[in-house]
Amino acid sequence: ISIEIEDREFEDIEISKEEIKEILALGKDPEVYSKVINSIAPSIYGYEEVKEAMALQLFSGVAKALPDGTRIRGDVHILLVGDPGVAKSQLLRYGVRLAPRGIYTSGKSSTSAGLTATAVKDEFGEGRWTLEAGALVLADMGLACVDELDKMEADDRSSMHEAMEQQTISIAKAGIMATLKSRCALLGAANPKFGRFDRYEPIAKQINMPPALMSRFDLIFILTDEPSVTRDTAIAEHILKA
C-alpha cells in the first residue's frame, strides 16, 4: 500500500519566536515602509513606484461586506504595460515568490478553463463529472500573476471580468452549477500592440486590451525603454554589482 500526493495544499507559514521578535522590531522602525519597498526585487534597478504598488498589493486592503449583501473587494489589481526587456516578467516572478499563495501563468498558453475551472470525468467516482480549479481559484487569498495578457484570446480574457471585480467564478458545466471563490489580487503584464511603444502615437491606442477589462485594474503602469546614457549606465552598474 502506498500513498501518492497528487495535489499539495498550501500550508500555513509557521513563525518562530525569533522571527516574531524581528517582526515586532521592524514594526517599530520608522524606515519600515521604505525597507519593504526596497526588499521587493532588489536585483531590478529603479521602478520605485511599481515596487511600492506591489508592496501594497501584497499587504492588500480590507474587503467590506455591506448590509445589503454586496461585497467590495479589498485587493488591488495592477497592470504593467511596457516594451520588451523592461523586466516585467521578472517582477511577476518575484511577486509569486513573495506571496505565500502565489500562482504564475502565461496568457499565451492559458485558456478560460485553465484560469477559472474545468469539468473532468472522475476516474474514481464512477465516471461522474467533477470540477478542477484553475489558476484564479487556486490563488484564492493570494496573488495571481498573469503574463502576456495581450496575447490571450478575447474569449479567454473575458472570463477574468467576474473574477477580478466580484471575486467569484460562476461555473455551469456538465450539469454542475457552482460558484467558486477567487479572492485574489491580480498582477498582469502585457506588451504594446505593435511590440514597442511608438512615442509619436497616443498610449491608449497602443494598448491592445478592451476598455471593460482595463477598467478592472486599479493601477496601470506604462514602462518604456527609452535610450539614456545615464540610466543605461546605472542599470549596467547595478547588474554588475549583483
pLDDT of residue 44: 83
Coil, helix or strand at residue 58? helix
| Residue (of 167, 170, 114, 115) closest to 140 by Cα position | 167
Tell me which H or E stretch contains 79: strand 78-82
Place of cell 496573488: 143
Kindly tell me the burial class for residue 177, based on how many C-beta atoms sit within 10 Å of its own C-beta (0-12, 13-18, 19 or more): exposed
Cell of 34: 521604505
pLDDT of residue 8: 54
Cell of 4: 501518492
Tens-level pLDDT at each residue, the chain (242 residues): 677 666 555 556 778 888 888 888 888 888 888 888 888 888 888 888 988 998 888 888 888 888 887 888 888 889 888 888 888 888 888 888 888 788 888 877 777 777 877 777 776 666 677 777 778 888 888 888 888 888 887 777 777 888 888 888 888 877 778 888 888 888 888 888 877 888 788 877 888 788 888 888 888 888 888 787 888 888 888 888 86
pLDDT of residue 162: 81
